[in-house]
Structure 1
Amino acid sequence: MTALRVTPAGRGGGHRLWVSLPDGRDVAWYDRDSGRISLLSEAYEDGVRAALAPYVTGEVTVGPPPVPTASDLARLTLHPDDDLAPNRPGEALHAAVDGDSRRRSGRLRGLPRPDPRRAELAAQQRVGDALDGLDAAGWRVLHCVPLPGAALIDHVAIGPAGVLAVRTVAARGRRVRIADPAVATGRAEPEPLLRWARRDAERAAHALATAVRPVLAVTDPGRLDVPAGLGDVRVLRDGEIPSLARLGGVLKPADVEALYATARDRRTWLRL
């Protein structure tokens, strides 16, 4: 029997496991949410069952793939260059920070000054990882969503509680004071982060034709002062992000998948 390989779809293991041949051709997938193994070739059923045995929990059904939904068809026809799903948290910062580090190491002697963008990148990774952890609760997350010009939305999360446009704040143990629309981190000059977060949500709502709530995710604050009356902007510490898994009542699973299929297409955002 030819050895089969099992790989997850998406970050954090995803909700689907693909089974493929050594040459990369897929022969089946296991959807954890529905408990179904979809076979692309019945000839590999025994091998697929054996390969997935360590991952399967409870009863499963095995059969041919279900009829594709509209969101499935959109994903299958999406060009890889336009697919935002593979973006890492802080994707735009990775190349910039690494490239500058190599140039500085080639020009300077001794220890270079710390690059402040590394703290921002670390914060985006921390928030992004927490958001990706919501996958099992039915959330789909995109990172570093591009807008026309040089603008970006740090994270877009789509789940049972609705659609969130998440802006990251790197606190690094410092006090964060919020006085709408300004946010002051430590001794740095206040910035209108709440205004920017609302603008992110407005643009996302226009792109996706649905309600989007702005969220400010603060990583590792020494102290967080949030005034009353910020009903439109949700302020979370990064450690509070997992609590979103308990919220729901806004979007059904099919709605989540349809919106995610639209949101992962780069062209959706560049038409704004």
Structure 2
Amino acid sequence: MSGLRVVPAWRHGQERLYVCLTDGRNVAWYDREAARVNLLSEDRRADVLHALGPFLTGPVTVGPPPVPTPAELARLTLHPDDDLAPNRPGEALVIALDRDPGPAHRLRPDPRRRRLAAEQAVGTALDRLESGGWRTLHSVPLPGGDRIHHLVIGPAGLFCVRTLSAHRQRVRVDGPMVVVGRREPRPLLRRVRADADRASHALTAEVRAVLAVVGAAALDAPAPPRDVRVLRDTDLAGLARLGGVLKPADVEALHAMARDRHTWLRM
């Protein structure tokens, strides 16, 4: 008996099979897409291949792991407290609601909860792009207490996405002004552009602005602005159909930079 076990895991939307010792330490992993078995110990080659035997789907390359890319090295050296990648959609609102849930006797729902639900819906839609080579960060903190709701990086470029909760109300976009239901018009598109500009400055790359409208009964944009995409959350998958701009290595490098909290503190 080799004492090895095979444990499946997911990384960037792709399945990997890790070969582990009984104490949980990895000795190898099988990357199906690359058809490669990466060995951490050459002495275990025969045992690893025996353990993986039922899972191998064809000829494979067997050898030590490839040299890490600069993006992978940056990720490996990043302190967990400075890594923004684990942030959940609406992370800042989740924390605020935990600290101050508000009175339990409210006659109307706390508006923060609707905003949170909207950010979670947009976050879910953007996270689904991962299988197509996209990377998403949520609730990116900025100096001064501001934050970027979502930053998505993929083959079509970088997009700064701000969420707008409409909840069965009519939304009209007219120039920089956005009207939700009977509320007063707000120059929301200026805020969306400002977020994208700050992200462009921090990452030294072009970042395009997107306003994602969630739950609207109707969305009217008679003259859509050229520099801001106004989309329903159900239409965000269309970003993946835009023309390719970035190579996979560029996507990973920009994601490694963006997930580092210090990138945004230098602004």
TM-score by length of 1: 0.86
Which amino acid in structure 1 is aligned with residue 216 of structure 2? P
Which amino acid in structure 2 is aligned with residue 94 of structure 1? V
Q: Do the aligned residues in 2 keep the contact of 1:19 with 1:28 (CA within 8 Å)?
A: yes
3-state SS of paired residue (2:136): strand
Q: How does 1:140-151 map to 2 (within 5 A)?
A: 140-151=135-146
Partner residue in 2 for 1:263: 258
Partner residue in 1 for 2:49: 46
Match of 2:198 among 198, 203, 209: 203
Q: How does 1:160-175 map to 2 (within 5 A)?
A: 160-175=155-170
Instruction: Give yes or no for the alignment of 1:104 onto 2:107.
Output: no
**2: CA distance between counterparts of 1:58 and 1:121?**
46
Partner residue in 2 for 1:125: 120
**1: CA distance between counterparts of 2:50 and 2:261?**
37
Q: How does 1:233-252 map to 2 (within 5 A)?
A: 233-252=228-247
Give the share of equivalent positions with the same residue, in percent.
Answer: 58
Deviates more, 1:38-47 or 1:67-76: 38-47
Instruction: Give yes or no for the alignment of 1:154 onto 2:149.
Output: yes
Match of 1:218 among 213, 219, 225: 213
**1: CA distance between counterparts of 2:221 and 2:15?**
39
**1: CA distance between counterparts of 2:59 and 2:240?**
24
Q: How does 1:22-41 map to 2 (within 5 A)?
A: 23-31=23-31, 34-41=34-41
Change (3 A) 1:214 1:100: same
Cα RMSD between the aligned structures?
Answer: 2.4
C-alpha displacement at 1:20, in angstroms? 6.0
TM-score by length of 2: 0.88
C-alpha displacement at 1:186, in angstroms? 1.3
Specify every segment of 5 or more residues in structure 2 that has no aligned partner in the other structure, as ranges. Answer: none
CA offsets 1:199-239 (integer angstroms, 9 cap, x no match): 00100000000111000111121100113251110111111
Q: Do the aligned residues in 2 keep the contact of 1:165 with 1:212 (CA within 8 Å)?
A: yes
**2: CA distance between counterparts of 1:57 and 1:246?**
31
3-state SS of paired residue (2:254): helix
3-state SS of paired residue (1:177): strand
CA offsets 1:67-101 (integer angstroms, 9 cap, x no match): 11111111111000010110000011112113322
Change (3 A) 1:77 1:20: farther
C-alpha displacement at 1:59, in angstroms? 6.3
3-state SS of paired residue (2:100): helix
Change (3 A) 1:270 1:188: same
Deviates more, 1:80-89 or 1:34-43: 34-43
**2: CA distance between counterparts of 1:149 and 1:18?**
43
Deviates more, 1:56-65 or 1:254-263: 56-65
**1: CA distance between counterparts of 2:249 and 2:35?**
17
Partner residue in 1 for 2:8: 6
**2: CA distance between counterparts of 1:247 and 1:257?**
19
**2: CA distance between counterparts of 1:129 and 1:57?**
32
Change (3 A) 1:26 1:104: farther
**2: CA distance between counterparts of 1:262 and 1:32?**
28
**1: CA distance between counterparts of 2:59 and 2:237?**
28
**1: CA distance between counterparts of 2:245 and 2:73?**
24
Match of 2:176 among 167, 181, 184: 181
Greater Rg by CA: 2
Deviates more, 1:259-268 or 1:30-39: 30-39
C-alpha displacement at 1:64, in angstroms? 1.9
**1: CA distance between counterparts of 2:24 and 2:87?**
22
